[in-house]
Structure 1
Amino acid sequence: MAYLSGEYECKMDAKGRMVLPARIKSTLPDADVTKVFVKRGFEACLVLYPELEWKKVYSKVAGLSEFNEEQRNFQRNFFSGSAELELDSAGRFLIPKLMLKYADIDKDAIVVGVGNRVEIWNPDKYNQYLIKDQNEFSKQAEKFLSGQ
């Protein structure tokens, strides 16, 4: 399992490529250093998965029933909004234009390590989702982590 964390300011080049931050790249297992998988996130961001983590998520979604309308629609939305990305020798990857449009990413982006995955955000949207009140963050920590 990858242990991805941290927050990084990144820039897109003129061709729509981004460099995966060195700290993130160095955390990936050797097998995952040449490719990653991206999908549209639930909060108008992009979610990047190392290959080993992607296989786990992929299996869960692929295991849903094509004969159930709700599950079929979920599969359609999930898989149509995902892609395999190759990393070049400089650690750059090209994000499809439709995905950049979905996440409203132009030149600047915030890359965030979130445990087993990486999120790529428009900086303004990212700031809207951050918990600004530390008391609220403390309450969530108690709710989600106490008793474990």
Structure 2
Amino acid sequence: MSKLKLFRGRFSRSVDDKGRLMLPTELRSVLESRSESSKIIFTTYDGCIVGFPLPDWEQLEEAFYQLKNPPLTVRNFRRLVIGGAEECNIDAQGRVRLSKTHLEYSGIESELIIVGQGQKLELWQPQKLEEVLKQDYDVASLLAESGVDFSF
């Protein structure tokens, strides 16, 4: 049984004047392994652009639709994430076009950092990502409570 490939690592890239991003070969390979059509869905969350292979996105959407009578906070979150979702194709050169709305939300102008996050990837404005990564996280106990042993 083959194991699904996951997005991992960080990659510095730039967006051209038409809003196109050249995906690194490693990430295109993961996308192709997770989605027969190589389609990716981009949306916004946490101040960045988030990308999901189409099948993974469809599972996430289905989970949202299973919620009965969700509270206002969940409905608003759904408006941001599902309402902001855009399906993108990779062109022959390995590029995807990012929408102006997504670029404005994330603060990305030309330079960006792609961060692999397992089943998804994130596109960050470099200074925003730097601020996020500077934060002191004490997550060992939270991970342990969830059954993840992440001790060094």
Q: Is TM more than 0.5 here?
A: yes
Instruction: Name the amino acid aligned to 2:139.
Output: Q
Give TM-score scaled by structure 2 length.
Answer: 0.81
Q: 1:16 to 1:141 in 2, by over 3 A?
A: same
Q: Which residue of 51, 58, 80 corresponds with 2:61? A: 58
- In structure 2, the CA distance between the partners of 1:32 and 1:132, relative to structure 1 (3 Å rule), is farther
The alignment covers a number of residue pairs equal to 141
What is the alpha-carbon root mean square deviation over aligned residues? 2.2
SS of 1:88 mapped into structure 2: coil
Deviation at 1:35, TM superposition (A): 1.4
Equivalence map 1:1-148=2 (5 Å): 1-28=4-31, 29=33, 31-32=35-36, 34-41=38-45, 43-65=46-68, 68=70, 70=72, 71-131=74-134, 136=137, 139-141=138-140, 143-144=142-143, 145-146=148-149
Alignment gaps of 5+ in structure 1: none
Measured against aligned partners, the alpha-carbon deviations of 1:80-110 in whole angstroms (never above 9, x if no partner) come to: 2111011101110111101100000000000
Q: CA deviation at 1:30?
A: 6.1
**CA-to-partner distance for each residue in 1:19-56, whole Å, 9 max, x for gaps?**
11111111221634631001101x20010001121111
8 Å CA contact 1:32, 1:50 repeated in 2: no
Amino acid at match of 2:105: Y
Distance 1:107 1:60, change over 3 A: same
- More displaced stretch, 68-77 vs 119-128: 68-77
Percentage of matched positions with identical amino acids: 28
* Aligned residue identity for 1:112: V
Q: Deviations over 1:51-78 (max 9, x none)?
A: 121111111112234x556244333232
Larger strand proportion of the pair = 1
Q: Distance in 1 between matches of 2:93 and 2:37?
A: 11
For 1:57, the aligned partner's letter is L
